[in-house]
Amino acid sequence: MTDNKTMAYINMFAVLGTLEDLCELDGKAKELLKGTKPISTGFDVKDGPQATIRFANGKCTVTEGCSDCDIKLPFSNVDKFNGMINGTVKPFPSKGFTKISFLLKTFTALTDRLEEVMRPTPEALKDPEFFNLSTTLTFYTITSAISQLGNHDPISTFSASNIDDGDIMMSIKDGPKANIRAKNHKLTTIKNCEDAPRAIMEFGSMQLASDLFNGKVNALACIGEGTIRMKGMASMLDNLNRILDRVALYLA
Amino acid sequence: MSFPEYTHEKSREWFSRASKVIPAGVYGHLGPAEGLFIPVEKWPLFSEKAEGTYFWDVDGNRYIDYMCAYGPNILGYNDPDVDAAVAAQMKLGNCTTSPSKIMVECAEMLVDTVDSADWCFFAKNGNDTTQTAVVTARAYTHRKKVIFFKGYYHGVSPWQAKKDYGGVLEEEVMYNIILPWDDIPALEKTVAENKNEIAAIIAQPYDHGNFHDNVVMTNEFWAKVRKICDDNGIQLIIDDVRAGFRLDLAGSDHYFGFKADMICFCKALANGYNMSALMGREHLKNTISGLSITGSYWMSAVPFAACIATINKLKEINAPQLFDTLGTKLINGLIVAGKENGFNLVASGKPALFYLRVANDNSLFLHQEWVAECVSRGIFFTSHHNHFINAALTDEDINHTIEVAEDAFRAVKKNHPELG
């Protein structure tokens, strides 16, 4: 069972949050952003997440809060926001009417591209470059979702309550990495972090990570085979894995 | 002295075969995931044979086994006295329609041995006994709630799990109350806030949980817990599955100077033959008699024969004293070996069930490396769990262990020039 409020946080910071990486890593996304003047869109969800997505100099950043933005999209509840992500709700801005063409054109094209990469066709995955991009973005979405679950999902907050302070590094060998930072049982995902972790979980290859994300291989068997490496504070990893198990419920 | 590292080609081959037909290859605590084989290449995955304090893996490597099959090996693998009793009973019968009279003899022997117990209810695994104990407490008190101490492990039934475990319903753990160890005010407050609602407190005799230094409770702590239970009609269940017969043959409650209402035994009961026993006090006998709890193999005769032989031998050799002596010698030697190589090895818990941690970093990276270097040189430790002493361990084995441990410390140091 999933929780709609948690889903809204995942949609905001893990799904839309991956726009940051899409704009950095994907040539097509860079093309879409070419010539775009700096612009920011705030998402204001009542009793839910608030965030601002900024585009400037070909880069995208997602930050918490929406008090300072060019366009503001208010949502009366988390279901409405989740509906926008699912394509069943059309948002209306409360601010920035003159800039709405950005939302209708560039932003929509970027989110369409994100969906194309995150929900790829088997045919598209045959292209090694696209495969790497898709797997990398999926990795970032999952690692970002872990923190949102740990902070909001009624079951995963229990798991987070048992995680000691410190960083857990998740990585794909020769690929992306992210630290899940626990402080007072609140989790934050920091992409490409260089800080020393107290625990490590490394997937042996992009292919293995992709197979795991798609449920094609068993994680425990992979540990036995040595294709998933874990070390360090086992209790931190144990509780992180319980959250990871629930990520699939939300991102399926 | 340096020791060559083992290789595990055949283990890998068998694991590859296993993964095709067994979930996770080897699931549970004996497997590489839950057993934290870090890195997995340093560890054996399947055994070929065992004898005394040793087992040999499928590649022919010998290990001094400080996990003792996670507890069941208490006298030594293939103990001749136990195996003779087993062979004799096997000729008479094992799993029969009418239980063998040896069940009665086994129960009489255990009731005479365990100080707090007036009866004995047999099953197969530790989980069966903790499950039965809680059901008995609920049936006796007509109450729902159960108090656990933080970091608990009492088995794998849903009620014993936590709400974030896969397949466990929140409703199945909604009557569980988790309190910190050694916090009598918190216990008193909880009991007061849940007056006439708490059926039982279930706890191991001390905090010998995984992933952290173990903490031994005091007699005073247990005396206070006992009084709180007595004053409030709460049944006190001791899960002695792990520590049972290693601290005190009369039960770990006896060791800490109190009487449990029910006490759960399994691992060390029969030196590896499959049985468990829930033992309890007279006032609960009628209640448990009326419960619908049983199992296909719970009254099999062969393990009872093994149990009688095991407990008698443990008495003959004063096993708890022996384990304390051997464990203390081993721990002291390991600590010195660490110190001489710049490592701060912390030992906690009772010597019979010692827990180890290299404390030079806060991540356990160094500890896991050292444990792996020991395992790959024939000393089977784990990095996350308490260890076990068995009676077949000799001073010579301990001396060899310390020499290997020292070599393992040197190997870790060599890989970490930053340690100086």
Tell which of B164, B165, B362, B382 to mutate to test the A interface (max A CBs under 10 Å).
B164
State whether A225 and B164 contact (CB < 8 Å): no
pLDDT attached to residue A218: 84
Confidence of residue A2 (pLDDT cuts 50, 70, 90): very high
Phi-psi region of A215 (alpha: psi -120 to 50; beta: other; left: phi over 0): left
Q: Give the pLDDT confidence of B210-260 residue by residue, as tens digits.
A: 889 999 999 999 999 999 999 999 999 999 999 999 999 999 999 999 999
Q: Which residues of B touch A230 (CB under 8 A)?
A: 36, 38
- The amino acid sitting at B383 is S
- C-alpha A105/C-alpha B144 separation (Å) is 59
Kindly give, in sequence order, each residue whose CB lies less than 8 Å from that of residue B73, ignoring residues fewer than 6 positions away.
B50, B53, B65, B271, B272, B388, B390
Residue from the list B32, B365, B383 with its beta carbon closest to the beta carbon of A223: B32
pLDDT attached to residue B141: 98
Determine the distance in angstroms separating the CA of B25 from the nearest CA of chain A, rounded to an integer.
6
- C-alpha A150/C-alpha A148 separation (Å) is 5
Residue from the list B19, B162, B166 with its beta carbon closest to the beta carbon of A224: B19
Ordered by where they begin, the domains of chain B are 9-77+318-419 (3.90.1150.10), 80-316 (3.40.640.10)
The token duo for B415 is 């890989």
Q: What is the ipTM of this complex?
A: 0.90
Q: Which residues of A touch B30 (CB under 8 A)?
A: none
> If you average pLDDT over every residue of chain B, what do you get?
97
Handedness of CA B62, B63, B65, B67 (dihedral sign): negative
The token duo for B237 is 């269940």
Kindly give, in sequence order, each residue whose CB lies less than 8 Å from that of residue B123, ignoring residues fewer than 6 positions away.
B129, B132, B275, B276, B277, B278, B295, B298
Task: Tell me which residue of B297, B307, B289 sits closest to B99, measured CA to CA.
Answer: B297
Q: Which residues are paired to B348 by β-bridges?
A: B355
Q: Which residues are paired to A62 by β-bridges?
A: A53
Q: What is the DSSP string of chain A?
A: ---HHHHHHIIIIIIGGGHHHHHHH-HHHHHHHTTPPPEEEEEEETTS-EEEEEEETTEEEEEE--SS-SEEEEESSHHHHHHHHHTS-----SB-GGGHHHIIIIIHHHHHHHHHHHS--TTGGGSHHHHHHHHHHHHHHHHHHHHHHHHH-TTHHHHHHTPPSEEEEEEETTS-EEEEEEETTEEEEEET--SPPSEEEEES-HHHHHHHHTT-S-HHHHHHHTSEEEEE-HHHHHHHHHHHHHHHHHH-
Q: What is the mean pLDDT of residues B333-360?
A: 97
Residue B92: enclosing H or E segment and its boundaries? Answer: helix B80-92
Determine the distance in angstroms separating the CA of A10 from the nearest CA of chain B, rounded to an integer.
19
DSSP summary character for residue B162 = -
Q: Which residues of B touch A223 (CB under 8 A)?
A: 32-33, 40
Nearest CA in chain A to B40: A226
pLDDT attached to residue B73: 98
Q: Give the pLDDT confidence of B15-37 residue by residue, as tens digits.
A: 999 999 999 999 999 999 999 99
State whether B38 and A231 contact (CB < 8 Å): yes
User: Is 80 exceeded by the pLDDT of residue A54?
Assistant: yes
Write out the E strands in B255-348. Answer: 262-265, 276-280, 345-348
Determine the distance in angstroms separating the CA of A21 from the nearest CA of chain B, rounded to an integer.
30
The token duo for A208 is 């293995």
User: Is 80 exceeded by the pLDDT of residue B420?
Assistant: no
Q: Give the pLDDT confidence of B145-191 residue by residue, as tens digits.
A: 999 999 999 999 999 999 999 899 999 999 999 999 999 999 999 99
B318-327, B369-378, B411-420: least confidently modelled range: B411-420
Task: Tell me which residue of A154, A175, A123, A167 sits closest to A249, measured CA to CA.
Answer: A154
Question: Chain B residues within 8 A (CB-CB) of chain A?
Answer: 15-16, 19, 23-27, 31-33, 36-41, 45, 162-166, 170, 210-212, 362-365, 368, 383-384
Query: Is A32 buried (19+), middle (13-18) or exposed (0-12) by CB count in 10 A?
Result: buried
Q: Give the pLDDT confidence of A162-221 residue by residue, as tens digits.
A: 999 999 999 999 999 999 999 999 999 999 999 999 999 999 999 999 998 888 888 888
State whether A226 and B364 contact (CB < 8 Å): no
CA angle A132, A133, A136 (to 5 degrees): 80
Tell which of A167, A168, A220 to mutate to test the B interface (max B CBs under 10 Å).
A220
Confidence of residue A252 (pLDDT cuts 50, 70, 90): confident
Determine the distance in angstroms separating the CA of B384 from the nearest CA of chain A, rounded to an integer.
8
Residue B176: enclosing H or E segment and its boundaries? Answer: strand B176-179
**pLDDT > 90: percent of chain B:** 98
CB pairs under 8 A between A and B: 85
Residue from the list A155, A166, A221 with its beta carbon closest to the beta carbon of B19: A221
Kindly give, in sequence order, each residue whose CB lies less than 8 Å from that of residue B131, ignoring residues fewer than 6 positions away.
B155, B157, B159, B160
User: Is 90 exceeded by the pLDDT of residue B418?
Assistant: no
Query: Are the C-beta atoms of residues B216 and B205 closer than 8 Å to each other?
Result: no
- C-alpha B236/C-alpha B200 separation (Å) is 6
Q: Which residues of A touch B19 (CB under 8 A)?
A: 218, 221, 224-225
DSSP summary character for residue B6 = P
| Chain position carrying tokens 């000691």 | A164
Ordered by where they begin, the domains of chain A are 4-118 (3.30.1050.10), 142-251 (3.30.1050.10)
* Cα A36–chain centre separation: 24
State whether B24 and A166 contact (CB < 8 Å): no
Residue from the list B15, B31, B211 with its beta carbon closest to the beta carbon of A234: B211
Residue B267 CA: distances (Å) to CA of B79, B124, B148, B277: 15, 10, 21, 10
Q: Which residues of B touch A199 (CB under 8 A)?
A: 363
CA angle B117, B119, B125 (to 5 degrees): 90
Nearest CA in chain A to B34: A220
State whether A158 and B24 contact (CB < 8 Å): no
